[in-house]
Amino acid sequence: MTNFFQNKKILITGGNGFLGSQIRERLLPRSGAIVTPHRSEVDFTRQAATEKYLAEQKFDIIIHCAAFYGGMAIHEKFPGNIYYENLMMSTNLIEAARVNKVAKFVIIGSDCAYPGYLNKDILVEEDLWTGPPHETALDYGIVKRILSVQSWAYKKQYGFHSIFLIPTNMYGPGDNFDFGSSHVVGALIRRFVEAKMDKMPFVEVWGTGAPTRNFLYVEDAANGIVLATEKYDDGAPMNLTTTNGCSVRELAEMIREVVVYQGEITWNTSKPDGQLKKILDVTKMKTKLGWEPRQTLRDGLQKTVTWYLAHKIEADRKKKVLYDQTLGNNSGVV
């Protein structure tokens, strides 16, 4: 632990959300002040409000986690909101940070920005512009690419200090388990838990199970972001994830084992798979940070299932697609 964050005032957008709250917890004992505003205090999608807020607050560091997105069902329902809200909020924040001389701006990207149809087993940072994002996440992925350009352009013209981190599919305690908006891990955990409770003979999973992904435990993600905020100064994108990935089929089987569900898994192949291959290279992360995630997938799933069982009633009530629980309070769902 160093004194890098000492006496620094830090804005964490999305600081009340899944990832942001983990980052906040790690920085609270180390920094001068942590600010995690709600939308009732400032709407970052409005340029004038954003500029006024940053001019008044005088932040040293901004870690931009807030985002409006979710699983494939959310992209089907709200592509316009996903594009507009994320684009305006992020570009406004970066511009206001430049004007107000914020010392470091951390952009939390997404693996959705990577090409969706590139037939490569492992994607490196240089692949980012070699093809369009997958159609199932085009709205969100293209915005994240735009932010990487803004980061580059502002550094070139203004000397603006920003970094662009690309975490992968996050999961863990406090995740979203709502069927209408959750990502694959949260949705599968809830399906298997409820199938076991209701003694159902099978669990239906969308697609073929063939897509491959990295799955990143949220506490590891927060640790990596905090470390990169301190130590990574290159403006080029950097992946932040686990060394190994797995298929959705392997993930489903592992969750079944962790839940101790005895029924079968059926695959609804009439439903979309999404991008088939999305495993990210971690060479730069290991070289630049000397770090890698500690949590194994099985242990992380066990902790997540344990948390979900202990908080099921509360967790099932949360529908994070609602504005008053996502961008509605700048808490984000990242």
For residue 305, is it within any domain? no
pLDDT of residue 230: 97
Instruction: Provide φ and ψ at 170, rounded to 5°.
Output: -95, 150
Number of domains within the chain: 1
For residue 2, is it within any domain? no
User: 158: which 2 tokens?
Assistant: 């203004």
CATH code, 325: 3.40.50.720
Helix axes 79-99, 138-158, angle to 10 degrees: 10
Instruction: Provide φ and ψ at 311, rounded to 5°.
Output: -125, 25
Residues with pLDDT less than 70, the chain: 1, 319-334
186: Cβ contacts below 8 Å, ≥ 6 apart: 171, 175, 176, 177, 178
Say how far apart CA 35 and CA 32 lie, in whole Å. 10
Question: Which residues have a catalytic role annotated?
Answer: 140
Q: What is the pLDDT of residues 113-135, one digit of tens each?
A: 999 999 899 999 999 999 999 99
pLDDT of residue 1: 58
For residue 17, is it within any domain? yes
For residue 91, is it within any domain? yes
Domain that holds residue 94: 9-174+214-244+277-295+319-329
For residue 303, is it within any domain? no
For residue 187, is it within any domain? no
Say how far apart CA 129 and CA 152 lie, in whole Å. 14
For residue 192, is it within any domain? no
Q: How many CB atoms lie within 10 A of CB 164?
A: 27
> Would you mind telling me the total number of residues written for the chain in this entry?
334
Cβ burial of 119 (10 Å; 0-12, 13-18, 19+) is: exposed
CB 327 within 8 A of CB 74: no
pLDDT of residue 72: 74
Query: In this structure, are strands 212-213 and 246-247 parallel, antiparallel, or unpaired?
Result: antiparallel
pLDDT of residue 203: 97
pLDDT of residue 325: 42
